Amino acid sequence: EDKVVQSPLSLVVHEGDTVTLNCSYEVTNFRSLLWYKQEKKAPTFLFMLTSSGIEKKSGRLSSILDKKELFSILNITATQTGDSAVYLCAVGDIQGAQKLVFGQGTRLTINP
Amino acid sequence: GAVVSQHPSRVICKSGTSVKIECRSLDFQATTMFWYRQFPKKSLMLMATSNEGSKATYEQGVEKDKFLINHASLTLSTLTVTSAHPEDSSFYICSARDYTGGDRNYGYTFGSGTRLTVV
């Protein structure tokens, strides 16, 4: 059974800190790994990673994938209170409908 | 970019009644849609994969007679929660695959979700 595990489950930091969120996976037919940010409603897309070692960057957020060790990290530098959210990692399989399997999420709280 | 409209955003119903949730792809054709359920402070759990013109594929442990999925057209999938009970109260989210390319979500566009409360 495909599995995605995120850590930590919860994280509280002060504004300005840098955080690293982790995602490890066990998937039979890996296609891609996606990161989402969820505030109150539906998840919003952050990154999609398919190749090892290539960092994706968007402003203060960056992410990288290690397909050998089966994990990914999401970094947020100079955190702001608006970064408070649940960050979800999902892995897409290569077969059939290419469904996504989600991890449990990391609840990030940024205190002023 | 690709947009998925989900309706209603919030619904309260009495125990024993049925509730229908709609998921529409507004500017693309979605041959495949996914239905997720999310409990408070938990992640998204895939319930079923909905394929246009054919039966949905349900994940293990999801009752297909309770959660009826219909994907009659390339732009609409519906989830009907039949004979709802309080334990069905949850946040339901749909997602559609856009194969046309050029979508920054790389093919997975989410609806805004439906919060169902069964009283």
> What number is the average pLDDT over the span A64-80?
96
| C-alpha–C-alpha distance, residues A38 and B91, integer Å | 13
Handedness of CA B61, B67, B68, B73 (dihedral sign): negative
pLDDT, position A94:
65
Backbone Cα Rg of chain B: 14
pLDDT, position B103:
44
**Bridge partners of residue A24, in order along the sequence:** A5, A71
| Structural element, H or E, at residue B80 | strand B76-81
Residues A11-54: tens digit of each pLDDT:
999 999 999 999 999 988 888 899 999 998 888 889 999 889 99
Tokens of residue A22, six digits: 């982790």
> What number is the average pLDDT over the span A100-107?
92
The Cα of A42 is separated from the nearest Cα of chain B by a number of Å equal to 5
B90/A94: higher pLDDT = B90
Q: What percent of chain A has pLDDT over 70?
A: 96
Q: Which residues from chain A sit within 8 angstroms of residue B95, using beta carbons?
A: 100
Q: Is the pLDDT of residue A71 over 70?
A: yes
| C-alpha–C-alpha distance, residues B32 and B71, integer Å | 9
Q: Which residues from chain B sit within 8 angstroms of residue A43, using beta carbons?
A: 44, 93, 110
Please name which of A33, A90, A7, A28 lies closest in space to residue B45, comparing C-alpha atoms. Answer: A90
Nearest to A41 among B36, B49, B113 (CB): B113
Residue with tokens 């930091």: A13
**Bridge partners of residue A73, in order along the sequence:** A22, A64
Q: Which residues from chain A sit within 8 angstroms of residue B54, using beta carbons?
A: none
Is there a contact between B51 and B35 (Cβ–Cβ < 8 Å)? no
| C-alpha–C-alpha distance, residues B90 and B13, integer Å | 12
Q: Is B93 on the interface with A (CB under 8 A)?
A: yes
Q: Got the DSSP string for B14-48?
A: -TT--EEEEEEESSS--SEEEEEEE-TT--EEEEE
Nearest to B111 among A42, A99, A105 (CB): A42
Q: Is the pLDDT of residue A10 over 70?
A: yes
Neighbours of A83 (CB within 10 A): 18
| C-alpha–C-alpha distance, residues B60 and B106, integer Å | 27
Q: Is the pLDDT of residue A63 over 50?
A: yes
- Which residues 17-56 of chain B have a CB within 8 Å of chain A? 32, 34, 36, 41-46, 49, 51
Q: What is the mean pLDDT of each run of 10 residues along chain B (119 residues)?
A: 89 97 90 90 89 89 94 91 96 84 63 95
Q: Is B111 on the interface with A (CB under 8 A)?
A: yes
> What number is the average pLDDT over the span A83-103?
85
Cβ pair A97:B104 closer than 8 A: no
